[in-house]
Every structure is written in structure tokens, then in C-alpha cells.
Structure 1
Amino acid sequence: MILDAALAAAAALACVIFAAWIYRFNEVPLDVPLAYSGDALYYGALIKGVIENGWYLHNPSLGAPFGLDMGPFPMSDNTHFAMLWLIGLFTDEFGSALNVFYLTSFATAAISAFVSMRWMGLNRLFSLCGAILYSLQAYHFLRGGHLFLASYFCLPIFSAFAMGIFAATESSQLSTKSLLGYALLLAVAAGCGIYYALFASLLIGFAAIAGSVEHGCWRPMRLGLAAGLIILIATTASLAPYLQAIHDTTLDGNLTQRDAVETERYGLRMIQMALPTPFHQNDSFRKQADEYRSRAPNVTENRTASIGLIAFLGFMGSLIYVLQRFPAQDPTLRRLGVLNLIAFLFATIGGFASLFAWFATAQFRAPNRISILIAFLSLCFFLLILQNALKKIRRGTLRHAASFAAFLAMLAFGTWDQSLAKSNLLKSNQVIYEHDRASADAIMHHLSPGSRVYQLPYVPYPEAAPLHAEGHTGLMRRFLHSKGIAWSYGSMKFSAVDQWIRRMELSPLRERLGKLAASDFDAVLVERRAYADNGKSVEAELQDYLGPPAMTCPDQSCSLFRLKAFSETEASPLLSTALGSGYSAWETANPGWRSATLKGSRASIQLLNPLKQTIVSRLNLDISTPAPIGLEIWRGGELLHSWNSHNPSSLDMTFELAPGINSLDLRFRGIDNDGMPIIAPAGIRLSKPVIGAVDTPLHLREFQKQVAEADRIFSPN
């Protein structure tokens, strides 16, 4: 046991050192992130949010003036966020936390692989070799930008569970303590992302069915159902904020729109598993991968599927072993082969994943990500075959020498074949990173803590097309390097906050500046790289109203305009509303009209006050229903209004509105001929309500026109 622990620790340390050597971590400061573009900036924001706020769900420094709420975006990574929280106890730099998490993922992958391989019957030497080769897969190096996908230590755990369930019989019993330990381990593994949980469910589910058929008993099925239930509970717990968010709010569009055909685009290809990595150390091998990428259609992220020659030989051998049905088959080898076959049939282009996308849900559009699970199963198969072959050598000394020679040969060739050439990525990132940090320092020098900055142009978050020379998450760099500043970028797409910003964007520039100043914004930042003309036109227009910029970023990537000197006597804050819970989707069939149908007798409305103080506000609400109804409006435990009406009707009321997002609870009741309350009919419609300050009310017709125009301009299509 002690020797196993020491070898697992040695494998973990070796993999971390090797990865650090590949990326030259010794040549740059630790706070320079390994990945610093595209999706990596999204993960950087999550990490900084965890460090500053304790968790990732709410970030008051993004989506100003109301903050970023990550609830509507489904994430099933509680284990990863807990790891980041622990890392954040020792550093307040997002780059350092990102790098430590990434390097730690090499250690955790090696440890879980070593333990699982030992459990499957591999000796210590081959388990050590397999653990290192699994941790140093090309997939690991190529997934640095998708930080949570690079943390795949859960897959050996899932594989061991699937193999154990496959082999279970009625005579194989476990103590209660062991069962509880396994349940906890499975729950932790299930918190490592929705894709890996799906792959686990696929393997464990098949193993349970096949095991019950093979052994003629129900125990594998019972264990499989129990394991599936634990994965479901753990995944649901991770997704609880998302489930709560979609219950409490009616988004103004589909946040995670996916198309079933995307599974073909992001499907798994056997040839890409066999080809060398696109960043191989050997020039000729690298050219092979480049030639395929340049000529084959739909080469996407599936190019990360290369599993190395050793694992690919294990993959092909496992399929042949299962399909040929050799006499006196080793049950462990056969089960590994069957699971490999199932995984491949699921993920390959046109496979079961496509059927799943067309007939169930298209949210799992990248089945190629199962390649790293196939790599583990294939390494186990290859090493077990070799171990069994070496056992036939009768002389112990010769057998040990041959095993050690095979260990060294596989380790040397495998690490060379799978890993990338030494990378200058960190040094390249350091240049951009230091430019961005200098720009943030200059901005913070001109603004006091607590300032709000409106970023131009508007860019949806989190998924949007790149704007000119700026990446799709490039505006996030300002937040990553600043403290005490609230940025408008980062409002969750289609949320109430995003609707507020889209409405702001519809105003002419002079009017918009007035609304921003009145809404307690302190400055406007022009992100030059996001404009075709490097921001020259918008800067010239801003100078007409605000004068010269207060500063220009040292790297010339942005310019800052102060709003404090702006004088607009007619300016007023932008007060807005959004639908909360209790509605069906938006209905926009009629031009200029925008409504939503109630699902039942309870609903809520969100009222947005961008100011830092409470104000007296005015709400106008139009209601259309085929029958008389009653209505009570509550805020918290306070009844604000009680009202009865016939169709059509309008309600106009004033009350105090606190800073931020306020929620009003609407309780409808229908009245039948006997005077007994009934559930309000589904035909009740609420026009999107109008809210304004008492002295500057907005009119319903004007508001509906603005919303319809926002739909046209900011449509995701």
C-alpha cells in the first residue's frame, strides 16, 4: 500500500515536471496564464470570480450596473470549482490559479489512472507507465484553453466502476463502509463536467446490462442503477443554479442553442485518433496531421483526438479481440474491448451520439471528447496484453528484465509520441498579458474604486462571434487585470441585464451618454480592436460630446472617456423591466407587440434600477384576458396592490425601487359565477411592462417599439 502510494505520487510529480518543462514555466512568472485567448479568458473570469467572491455564480464586477449572474448558463463542474476555491486560498491572481489548476490536472490524472490500473490487475511497473502515458496524452496539452476538459481524472474512476459492475456477481459483496466510500468517490467524479458524466453513464449503463446478461443475475443491474442515480444526483446538484434560474426567469432568447447536425461536425474520427498530434515533435509526423487538417472536411476540435501509437494499437487490438471471439478469452480484456467498442460507436460520426442529438437533445454536440476515455481503456488493454505475454517467460530474472525494458521503451516512445514540442506559448502570452496589465493599471489610475465603465462596442456573453481583431471574449481582459472597477461587458446573454444594455445601445450616442451618466456610470471605454476602423469613428463622435479621451491605453488598444463632465439636462437613468418566473416563451409574431403568456396563477416581474440609491418609480402594466380576474402584487412579504379587472385593463402604480434587480410577485385569481377562486386561464397575457421614474414616465407604445427594434438588431441569427 505504501509502495503503491509512493509510485502514484512519483507518477504525478513526473507528469507535472514534464508539463512544466514543455511549457517552459521556469522562464516566466507564474501569474502569466498558460492560455490567454478565446475560451481561456472565459475560464479566467470564472477563476477570478471564485477568488474574489467565493464562488462563480455571481460577479458584481461584470455586467454593470447589475452584475453577472451565471445561473442561466448550465455548468456541472462543482468539483472543479471547489478545487479552484482551494487554490484561491493561496493566491489572488487568476493567472497563477489557472496555471496551478492546469498543472495539478496532470497529477490528478496520473494518480487516478495508477490506482484504477492497479485495481484492474496491472502490476506496479506497468501501472506506473500507463498512468504517465495517460496523463501526458496529447489531448491534455491541446485542451489547455478548455481548462475543465483538461481535468479528466474522473475518467479512470468511471472506467473502474464500469469494469467492476460488469464483473459483479451475486457472490461479490461489499461492506457498508466500502459502498459509502465508493458512492462519495463517484459523486466527486460526477462533478467534473456534464460531458464526462454522460460518458460515464453510457459505460456504466451498458456494463450493468451486459453484466446482468452474462452472469444471469440482477446484481450488475442494481449496482448500475445505484451508480447512475449517484451520478444523476451529483450532476443535478451542480446544475441546481441553472435549474433555479430557468424557473425564476424567462430569458429573452435561447442561451445555449445547439443544432443536431453539429454532432457530425464535432464527431469522432478513427483516423484522427491514429494520426500524430498536430504539434508533434517530429516534422514529418506534424506534416501528416497538417495535410489531413487542410484537406479533410469538418476538422474542428476533433483534431485533439490523437491518442498516440501505443494507445491506438491497444484500441485496435481491443476491437479485434472482441470481434474475433478468441477461445478462452480473458474476461478483463474482453470487457475493456466491449467498452471501447461502445464508446467508439457512440462518438463516431453518424453514430449513436447523432441519434441522441436528433431524437433526444442536441446539447452534447462534441462527442469527440470521449477520445480521452478511449485512450485510457486502450492503454489498459495494451498493457494487460503485454503483461500476460511476459508472464509466459518462466525465468523470473529474465521476465523482470524484459518487463523493465518494455517499461522504459514504452515510456520513452510514448512521451515522445504523445507530447508537444517545447512551446513558447507562455512567453508569447507574457507580452500580451503585460500590455493588458499596463492598460488596466492606467485605467485604474484615472478612476476611483467603485467606478462603472461602459465598454464599446456591445458584445454578447458568453458565446459570440469575434469582432474584427478582437476575440469573442477579448473584452474580458479589462476585468481580469483590474480591481474595484465594474465593467458593462459580461452580462449574461438574453438575461434581464443584457436586455437593459441592448436597450441602452438603441439610443443615439448623445442620449445614450446622458442615460449612462444618469445611471451612475463614470466612463466609457472604446475597445479599438473590436472596430473595423480601430475605433476612429466612434472616438471622433465621443469627442464631440465628452472632449478628448482622459487616457489612451499604453498599447493603443483602448481609449477612456470620462462622463463626469457630460451635461445633459434632459438625461434620466434607464429604468427597465424583464419577465421573471411563470411565463411561457416570448411571443413576437406581431410587429411592435411583445407579450408572454402565463403558465399558471403565479408570475413575477423583474424591475431594474441601475442607480446606487433607492428611487420612487412608476409601473404601468397592461393585462389582456378573456375573463374577469383578480390580481395581487407582492414584494417580499409586503402586499403592494390588490386589484380586480375586466379585459382589457391597465394598472398604473408608484412605489420605491431599491438599487439593482427588484422582483414583484404577481398572484392572479379567476372568479367564477359562485365567487370561488379558480386558476387563472392560460389566455392571460402581459405586455412587457413599462417602468420609469415618476418624473420621466415611459409610454407603452414607445417601449414596445424599442424592444422590437432590439430584437431585430441583436437577433442571434
Structure 2
Amino acid sequence: MKSNTKWICIIIFLIFAGLIYVYQLWRVDIINTPLACSEDGVWELASHKIISEGSKMNYTTERLGAPIGYVTKDFMNVSYLPKLWMNIWACFTDNYILSFNLGYLSGYVLIAVITFLVLSQLGVCPEVSTISAVLYSFLPYHILRGQIHLALSFYVIVPIAVYYILKLMGNEKYSINRKSIGLWIIAMILSGMDGIYYAFFSCFFLCVAIFYNVLNKAPWKKIIGCIFSIGLICIGVLLSVIPNLIYWYENGINRSAVGRQSSEVTFYALRLAQLILPVTNHRIEFLERIKAAYNRVIIITESDWATLGLCFTVGFILLLIHAFRAHNEKEESIFTKLSVLTYCGLAYATIGGFIEIQAVIFSLIRCANRISVFIAFFACISFSIVVEKALSYFKGQKSYVIYIVLFLILCIGIYDQTPKNDSECYSTFYDSDTKAFVAEIEATDPEAMILQLPNVSFPENGMVNEMKDYAHFVGYLYSDKLRWSYGAMKGREGSVLLNNLCSLSTEEMVKQAAEIGFDGIYIDRYGYKSDEAEILESTIYEITKQEPIVSANNRYVYFSLGQYIINNNISFNQKTLSENLIKIVNGDGMYNKETNDKDEWYWCQNDSSIIIANYSNEELTVGMSFEIEVYGNQNGTINISCGDSNETIYIDGNNQKQTFNKDFYVLPGENEIVFTSDMQNISIENGQRQICFRIINEDISVEY
């Protein structure tokens, strides 16, 4: 134990030195500047601020997604361990940026220490284990994902999962006692709580171990152990998603929140070349040019971050070569197991691999390139064994010679694995102009609720013109009391309200925003074409007669609605809020909306329906009006029903357009209005559509 403590202290020192070098920490103010600078990293930073403000593991706040609030439980996240780790760091300081940076950077230490302990358990000497553990912690996968994919960067469970996979694989004797069983159970459950990808890949390699054991006639206890390990991992996943399951039970499943397409599987698959080629933006110009030439002929995705680095590429190639060596049937080495696992990982995750067959069944696991962190650990073990064997030839030398050789390997490895650092990226998101702009808003309208434009979906909307995804979080990150509209989960009531509100004319949007309770309107000009932003701003100015606050960098604009509300004697209007929580959805037999300069309409079949989705928590009386026009010279009836309400419209050939006005009693959730006609469908567009009538200019209002 004392020996391990000494080496762990050395690891901590080496990690600390490596972080200073890789991130140029002498040039970065980690107290006030996040290492994340864009897109997903901004969401991660906002999530951590929510923790710092007291949400802890719930990730809910009233300061986002206004007026409804911010709840992300539709976005299933099994990454319980990274959340717990970041929560721990948030307890030490109120400065969310500092705790965010420290939580991320300390992950390097934790990964290295766990890797060292696992390698030691596999019989690697402490000197080599130390060097390999530090190199594994500084994988390009870790550095390039960084705080952008914080949960994936926290791959602490991967070495532990691989250790138990190897122990449960083959004919090697594995001594079992009460203590080892307890550690195994804990390790497997935790493997299910470090992200759905690491849980899934652990189960995949356990299945490989089962197949390997069957073919090699391993003891049945090991096969049972693999099966139980998969079950324990599933328990860990289930424990992580309990809050999500409870939320879905109470609020219904939201299928709009996360969209995954099977076609994305090939896009995010692993490329073998990307494992062994140098890291993009390599420190050596010659190697940088080689990688740049390769990148020009492919579509670059996150699989570019799968690079193993020089040291682990050696281990990886040795594992590939090992499969071609002649083996004694009675001999079974760890190299054999690692080689089998590596080949199976490649067969599954590379373009054209088994991942594409899996995608036909389910596409939740789409980024197979993330298996590279497992392959990297296989290579890490291989590299460690080879280095230790090579160092055995130096037994007659003094010990400092061995230490010098290992230190050179470490330096070369770190230099090779870590790309050139662009410290200017730290300031691309956080800047003094934006901070001053938000501070001025907070001074003008303290505790205001602010409508953010352009209105964009959350999460995973993508870029809008020059505005990056999650850029709207900037207001929240810089403010202490203000409430912001961005962050309403798509498919839920907050998103429906904002979509309805922002689809109105500018004048009506401003009026209804004030009635709902918004105190101001914030505009990110990067989200518009220049002429669109100018028209929007001039229109809002004409409506409010209020000079806007403009950021010094000329990107952001804020209109206070305070004086407009006073001048027009506007107060909170529950009717306006409820109307914006109503959404019309196409039902069966109804085609998508069509428009011209004057009207908008839906073509319908003779048996069709329209859905009134009530996203409020109360039963509402909804007034609905529209015109019905029959296609072709037909006579007949159209029966319109909703629940117990029923009405029939009579159509004759001379007067085919009828006006319909009726109040419907709608419950929270989806309410179906059914149209049934005795008239015939008529085929149009070469049989592509069968239509009977159309609904023109539908309008709804809530009755109070």
C-alpha cells in the first residue's frame, strides 16, 4: 500500500505538470475563464452553473426556459458518475467557472490513478504502470472532447470494466472471495452509471468474452460471471435513469426531445486510419501535413478524436499482429484476449461494421467511434507489457537509466498525443463586452423575464446563420437574477408556447409577450441576416418607442418592455398564456399545411382527424373556427366530433364552402377532432394523394 501511495503521488505530480504544459495554464485565468468555448461546452457550463445555484443532481431551474422553466429529464443521460463528480466540486466554491474547470482537470488525475491500479493488478510493474497511466489519461480522445463532451471525458470506469472482462475471459484461474465479489458487483453497477456508451460497450465486450469462453471451453462459472456482469451493468443504467422514468410516468414520453437516425451511424462510425494517424493539428509540422491531407478526402466528424498516439499505436499494431502468430493450444496469454477484443471492437465499430446492422434495430447508439477509448486501453496494456519486457534487458544497468528511458517515453508520448494549443479559444465565448451588456440589462430590469430571439429549439438545434448552437445560454451565464426564455425542452409546453408566440407578427408577438409576463426582448444579431435583424429591430422600436441597449461588440440588442407595458396598461393575461399552450397537429388522413398570399389550409381525406394538443395543466374550453371546402362537385355530409361533442355539416354542389364555429372542451394532452364524410376521395397528383375536402384558415381561442 505504501509503495502504491508513492507512485500515486508521482502520478499526481506528472498529471499536474502535463496539464500546465498542454493547456498552457500560465496563460489562462481558470477562475474566470472556462476551458470550454463553444456549442456543447457552453451547455455543459450552463448545466454546471445550475448545479452551483443549488439544483444539484436535478438540473432544473426557473431561470431558463421561461416562463415554464428548464427541465432536461426528457434528454436521457446515464452519466451519473460525471454528474456526481462535478457536484462534489461545486460544493467547494460558489464560483461555477472555477469548480467547472477544477472538476474537469481533476478527472485527469482520477483516470490516471485508476489506470495505474488496474495495470498493477494485471501484473505490470509500477514504473511502467505510472507512465502508461499518465499517457492513457492524456489520450487525444480526452483532450479533444474536453469540457465539450464532459461525460465522455470522464472515462474512469473503462479500465475497471476491461479488467473484469479480462478476468472473466478464458481458462485462467480467478480466485474469488467475499471481498472480490463485492468489488466486482460495485464495479459492474458503476459501469452502468458512467454513460450509456461505456455501459453498452462494456456489455458488448462481455458478450465477446462469453463467445470466447464457449469456443475455448472455459469454466461455466466464467460464462455465468459474464452474464451476471451484463445484468449488473443494466441495473446501473436503470438506477441512473430512475428520475427520467418517474418524469415520463408523470408527464408522458416526449418523443420530440431526442432525434436519432439510423443513417447517422455510418457518419459517426470509426475509421481504422484515424486510430493510427497523428492527431489533427499535430505539434510536428510534417505530421500535421500528413493528417491534414487525409482530412481533406473525408468528412471530418468526432471520430477524428479517436487517435491513439504513437505509443499506443505501437501496442495496437502488436495486438493486430499477434493474431497471426502460431499459438500453443494449451497456452493462453493476455495478448490473445486483448487481440480478440480489439478485432471484435473494430469489426463492430468501423464503417461497414456490425454497428450498421444494429442500426436497423435501434439507433440510440450511433457514435461507434467512442469505442476507441476501450481500444486505447487494450493498446495501453499491450504497450505496457512490451515496454516492461524491453526494460528487462536493462537489468544490469543502474536504476536511473531505466527512469530516464521511461521519462523520455512519457515526454515523447505527451508531445505526440496532445495537439497544438490555441489559448485564444478560451476567450471566444467569454468576453468583457458581452458581460457588460448583460450587466446593463440586469441593472435596467432586475429579475426581468426576457424573450430571446431568434427562438431556437433546445437541445440540438444546430447553427442559425452565424449563431452557434447553445449561444443563447450566454445571457444566463453572465447574469445572477434574470430569467431567460431559452432552454425550454422541445416537445414540451415551454417550447410550444415560445413557438406559437414567435410565429406571430412582430406587433402581436410583443403584445402577447408582455401579457404573458416578459419584461424585455433580447436579440442575437448573429441569428439573422443583416437586413432581417434591422427590420426586426426597427419594428420593435416603433412598437415600444424604447431605445435599445446594444452591446459594445454590436452583436446583442435588448429592448425593455417596461414603459411599453405602462403606456398600454398591460397586465398578465392567463387567456393569452393558455392560447399559446395550444398546438394544432395533423392527425390521420390530413396532409401538411399549404399557404398562399391570402389563405392557409390542410387537405383531408373523407376519414381524417386533427389533434388539439393542450400543453397546459388545466381543462380548457377552446373555440375553433375554420371554413370547409369540398374538392370536386360533390354533395354529402361531414360529421365533426370531439369526445361527446358532435356536429354535422351539409354540403351541396352549388355551395361547397361552409363556415364552422364551435367550442370544444379539451383536456390536458392530445384531443382528437374526427372528420367523417360520406363523400368520395378524389385521386390527385398521379395518385400520390387522396383528398375530399380542405380546412381553411383554422383559428383557435381559449374561452374564459
- Which residue of the partner structure matches residue 421 of structure 1? 420
Letter in 1 for 2:487: G
The worse-fitting range, judged by mean Cα deviation, of 184-193 and 285-294 is 184-193
Letter in 2 for 1:205: C
Task: Check the 8 A contact 1:250/1:579 in 2, yes or no.
Answer: no
Secondary structure of 1:575's counterpart equals helix
Question: What's the TM-score once normalised by structure 1's chain length?
Answer: 0.80
The worse-fitting range, judged by mean Cα deviation, of 566-575 and 552-561 is 566-575
Secondary structure of 1:364's counterpart equals coil
Taking the aligned partners of 1:463 and 1:665, their CA distance within structure 2 comes to 25
The worse-fitting range, judged by mean Cα deviation, of 338-347 and 558-567 is 558-567
Task: Check the 8 A contact 1:514/1:568 in 2, yes or no.
Answer: no
- Which residue of the partner structure matches residue 316 of structure 2? 315
1:208 to 2:205 alignment: no
Aligned-residue offset at 1:299: 2.1
- Which residue of the partner structure matches residue 540 of structure 1? 538
Taking the aligned partners of 2:109 and 2:22, their CA distance within structure 1 comes to 15
- Which residue of the partner structure matches residue 336 of structure 2? 334
Task: Check the 8 A contact 1:266/1:298 in 2, yes or no.
Answer: no
Of residues 245, 265, 278, the one that matches 1:276 is: 278
1:150 to 2:153 alignment: yes
Taking the aligned partners of 1:195 and 1:50, their CA distance within structure 2 comes to 24
- Which residue of the partner structure matches residue 502 of structure 2? 505
Taking the aligned partners of 1:50 and 1:12, their CA distance within structure 2 comes to 27
Letter in 2 for 1:474: A
Letter in 1 for 2:435: R
Taking the aligned partners of 1:301 and 1:705, their CA distance within structure 2 comes to 45
Task: Check the 8 A contact 2:347/2:353 in 1, yes or no.
Answer: yes
Taking the aligned partners of 2:389 and 2:442, their CA distance within structure 1 comes to 65
- Which residue of the partner structure matches residue 70 of structure 1? 72
Write out per-residue CA displacement over residues 567-622 of structure 1, whole angstroms, 9 at most, x where no aligned residue: 55798432148799xxx99657355586469xxxxxx964169xxxxxxx843499
**Structure 2: which 5+ residue stretches go unaligned?**
593-601, 603-607, 625-641, 649-661, 676-694
Aligned-residue offset at 1:179: 1.7
Taking the aligned partners of 1:703 and 1:232, their CA distance within structure 2 comes to 51
Aligned-residue offset at 1:706: 7.1
- Which residue of the partner structure matches residue 112 of structure 1? 114
Taking the aligned partners of 2:398 and 2:366, their CA distance within structure 1 comes to 47
- Which residue of the partner structure matches residue 189 of structure 1? 191
Q: Relative to 1, partners in 2 of residues 1:329 and 1:417: Cα closer, same or farther, differing over 3 Å?
A: farther
Aligned-residue offset at 1:90: 1.7
Task: Check the 8 A contact 1:34/1:425 in 2, yes or no.
Answer: no
Q: Relative to 1, partners in 2 of residues 1:331 and 1:453: Cα closer, same or farther, differing over 3 Å?
A: same
Q: Relative to 1, partners in 2 of residues 1:705 and 1:619: Cα closer, same or farther, differing over 3 Å?
A: closer
Taking the aligned partners of 2:450 and 2:28, their CA distance within structure 1 comes to 31
Aligned-residue offset at 1:409: 3.2
The worse-fitting range, judged by mean Cα deviation, of 54-63 and 252-261 is 252-261
**Structure 1: which 5+ residue stretches go unaligned?**
598-603, 610-616, 623-642, 655-662, 667-683, 689-700, 708-717
Aligned-residue offset at 1:105: 1.6
Taking the aligned partners of 1:166 and 1:405, their CA distance within structure 2 comes to 36
Of residues 525, 546, 549, the one that matches 1:551 is: 549
Taking the aligned partners of 1:218 and 1:648, their CA distance within structure 2 comes to 69
Q: Relative to 1, partners in 2 of residues 1:435 and 1:5: Cα closer, same or farther, differing over 3 Å?
A: farther
Taking the aligned partners of 2:698 and 2:114, their CA distance within structure 1 comes to 57
Q: Relative to 1, partners in 2 of residues 1:329 and 1:198: Cα closer, same or farther, differing over 3 Å?
A: same
Taking the aligned partners of 2:122 and 2:700, their CA distance within structure 1 comes to 64
- Which residue of the partner structure matches residue 15 of structure 2? 15
- Which residue of the partner structure matches residue 177 of structure 1? 179
- Which residue of the partner structure matches residue 410 of structure 1? 409
Aligned-residue offset at 1:102: 1.7
Taking the aligned partners of 1:465 and 1:665, their CA distance within structure 2 comes to 28
Task: Check the 8 A contact 2:69/2:488 in 1, yes or no.
Answer: yes
Taking the aligned partners of 1:67 and 1:104, their CA distance within structure 2 comes to 32
Q: Relative to 1, partners in 2 of residues 1:251 and 1:383: Cα closer, same or farther, differing over 3 Å?
A: closer
Aligned-residue offset at 1:245: 4.1
Within 5 Å, give how 1:637-676 maps onto structure 2: 645=644
- Which residue of the partner structure matches residue 303 of structure 2? 302
- Which residue of the partner structure matches residue 616 of structure 2? 607
- Which residue of the partner structure matches residue 166 of structure 1? 169
Question: What's the TM-score once normalised by structure 2's chain length?
Answer: 0.82
Task: Check the 8 A contact 1:78/1:238 in 2, yes or no.
Answer: yes
Secondary structure of 2:176's counterpart equals coil
Taking the aligned partners of 1:703 and 1:200, their CA distance within structure 2 comes to 55
Within 5 Å, give how 1:311-710 maps onto structure 2: 311-327=312-328, 329-358=331-360, 360-391=361-392, 393=393, 396-398=395-397, 403-425=402-424, 427-429=426-428, 432-449=430-447, 451-533=448-530, 535-566=533-564, 567-568=567-568, 572=573, 573-576=576-579, 589-590=590-591, 592=602, 595=610, 606-607=615-616, 618-620=620-622, 645=644, 685=672
- Which residue of the partner structure matches residue 230 of structure 1? 232
Task: Check the 8 A contact 1:454/1:488 in 2, yes or no.
Answer: yes
Task: Check the 8 A contact 1:71/1:244 in 2, yes or no.
Answer: no
Letter in 2 for 1:444: E
Task: Check the 8 A contact 1:74/1:239 in 2, yes or no.
Answer: yes
Q: Relative to 1, partners in 2 of residues 1:456 and 1:608: Cα closer, same or farther, differing over 3 Å?
A: farther
Taking the aligned partners of 1:249 and 1:301, their CA distance within structure 2 comes to 34
Task: Check the 8 A contact 1:311/1:378 in 2, yes or no.
Answer: yes
Write out per-residue CA displacement over residues 668-713 of structure 1, whole angstroms, 9 at most, x where no aligned residue: xxxxxxxxxxxxxxxx94689xxxxxxxxxxxx9996579xxxxxx
How many residues are paired up? Answer: 627
Q: Relative to 1, partners in 2 of residues 1:586 and 1:96: Cα closer, same or farther, differing over 3 Å?
A: farther
Taking the aligned partners of 1:104 and 1:194, their CA distance within structure 2 comes to 22
Write out per-residue CA displacement over residues 105-157 of structure 1, whole angstroms, 9 at most, x where no aligned residue: 21111011111111111111110111011011112111122222111111111
Write out per-residue CA displacement over residues 177-207 of structure 1, whole angstroms, 9 at most, x where no aligned residue: 3322332233233322111111111112211
Aligned-residue offset at 1:285: 0.8
Identity of aligned residues (%): 21
Task: Check the 8 A contact 1:249/1:579 in 2, yes or no.
Answer: no
Q: Relative to 1, partners in 2 of residues 1:93 and 1:702: Cα closer, same or farther, differing over 3 Å?
A: farther
Within 5 Å, give how 1:285-300 maps onto structure 2: 285-294=287-296, 296-300=297-301
Task: Check the 8 A contact 1:162/1:207 in 2, yes or no.
Answer: yes
